[in-house]
Amino acid sequence: MAKHSTQRVLSEVTQKLATIVVGLGRQSLSDHLPTLLRSQDVTIVGVCDISPAACAVFRQKFPELRDIPIETSLDKLLDKTEPAVAIVAVPHDSYLPIVTRLCEHGVYFLKEKPLARNLTETMAVLTIPHFSHYGLIAAQRCYSTVYQQAKESMALLGTPYLFHGVYTLQVDMSDIGWRGSKARAGGGCLIDMGYHLANQLVWWFGMPQDVHAHLSNLAVPHNQYDVEDSATVLFRYASGLHGTLLVSRAAGEKREQYELYGSEGSLIGDKAGFVIRDRDGTVLKRVVQRDTAEMLDGQLSFFISRVRSGQGFTDVQQRHIATMKFMDRCYTAAAPAKVSVKRTPYVSV
């Protein structure tokens, strides 16, 4: 490990951890920075983004942080600060040199999902010295008490036989920029939004025996882009449990929900809570979560606890490796069915 990193972290066990934020896009501005500001365990000592415009937006939105270093280079930021931890949220093709640098400096980091753009890159990332010790991949649902309680309550359902997950929303201009490029993003809505559902599936049930997938990129007829804006995944386990995942970032209505059916009842849930009913429809258990920031706070608390203990994240990363293997199976299964579609406007007759 990097020299002095352990001493630096241990010296701050009773103090706030010096924190930097790398990447000042929507994810950082809307989620990570507010979460850090709510925490009593960290203090933000610097931020960076390669875009001067993004830095300007940060200055405007967070005037209380105007006195900290705001750089367009990670190296410049590391020269001016001595962080114990970093939050990293950048385009998917920009992660590799950043996390490599953080590992070299002995800085623990919370990195936005996915683990990598594809399975090949996953294997390359895992060869970065001490990556599994220093790096945690963001997947907030695992740290939500609602999702944890739902998992613990599955015993009330008897033998599970059907799982259905849905995650849809409308993303403006999802066909342009780095998110519209397979080379840069690794894929479209499936590896981005669908990663959450896949991670939940692997967390709750492990790896399916069979996986089939269908992808499409027809939502913006006049533009050419090579990533999917909609996807359906079908899967089956050796136990007989089977189901589907439906993901789209061009569906208009925002909707995120999962349903699990068993021999004794059903569980229907989302980020706001869940309800369990028996086969007659009688409610057996209902959990409501009114704090929408709870899972983000829980994720940061888990991250900080692992940093302070020096335990690292090797065990947690096993689930993300499995999630990337699931993603690889989806994209591999869908590849033979991919066709080139000539985009023409629809004309009613």
**310 three-class SS:** coil
DSSP, collapsed to helix, strand or coil, labels residue 166 as strand
Considering only the top CATH level, what class is 142-298+325-337?
alpha beta
Reading the chain (349 residues) residue by residue, the pLDDT tens digits are 444 444 444 444 458 999 999 999 999 999 999 999 999 999 999 999 999 999 999 999 999 998 999 999 999 999 999 999 999 999 999 999 999 999 999 999 999 999 999 999 999 999 999 999 999 999 999 999 999 999 999 999 999 999 999 999 988 766 668 888 899 999 999 999 999 999 999 999 999 999 999 999 888 776 777 899 999 999 999 999 999 999 999 888 899 999 999 999 999 999 999 999 999 999 999 999 888 899 999 999 999 999 999 999 999 999 999 999 999 999 999 975 444 444 444 333 3
Q: How many residues does the chain have?
A: 349
What is this structure's pTM? 0.90
Q: Please provide the CATH number assigned to the domain covering 5-112.
A: 3.40.50.720
Domain ranges of the chain: 5-112, 142-298+325-337
